[in-house]
Every structure is written in C-alpha cells, then in structure tokens.
Amino acid sequence: MSIMDYKASLHIAMEDPPFYAIIMAAMRKADTTNIEKLKSAFPETWIELQNRYESPGGVLQGEREVLL
C-alpha cells in the first residue's frame, strides 16, 4: 500500500458508499490472490456479483431496476 492508496481510501469513504458496494468494487479490481481472499471472506457477495454480472443491467429476476 502507499500514501496514494490511503488518500484514495479517504476520498471513497467521504462518498459514503454502502459496505457491500465497496466489497463488490474490490472484487472487480482484485488480482488473482486477492480475489480468492475476498471470495473466501464473502462467498455470498461473490455469488451475487456473478449473478448480477450475467443479468441484463444487473437486475435479478423479481427485482425492479434502480437508477442511481
């Protein structure tokens, strides 16, 4: 990690995203080693991320689309 990572974390925290949004974003950016750690720590989140990735607009069956 570096001072740049630390400062980026401050910026992200100021935006106040939901916790699982941060985890999903980390999964999208993770390298091979870190994705395995994240998948192990958050298996349900990994499954949901994969399901949403494969669904049009990330919307799962039975949900309404949410615009941000």
Q: Is residue 12 part of a domain?
A: no
Q: How many domains does the chain have?
A: 1
Query: What phi and psi, each to the nearest 5 degrees, are found at residue 66?
Result: -115, 130
Structural domain of 35: 17-68
pLDDT given at position 67: 67
pLDDT digits (tens, 9 = 90+) for 38-64: 999 999 999 999 999 999 989 998 888
Report, in angstroms and rounded to the nearest whole number, the Rg of the chain calculated over CA atoms: 14
Q: Is residue 24 part of a domain?
A: yes
Q: State the DSSP code for 13.
A: H
Q: Is residue 5 part of a domain?
A: no
Q: How far is residue 64's CA from residue 25's CA, in Å, rounded to a whole number?
A: 22
Q: Is residue 23 part of a domain?
A: yes
Q: Is residue 66 part of a domain?
A: yes
Q: Is residue 57 part of a domain?
A: yes
Q: Is residue 11 part of a domain?
A: no
- Write out the H or E segment, with its range, that includes residue 4: helix 3-15
Q: How far is residue 55's CA from residue 66's CA, in Å, rounded to a whole number?
A: 14
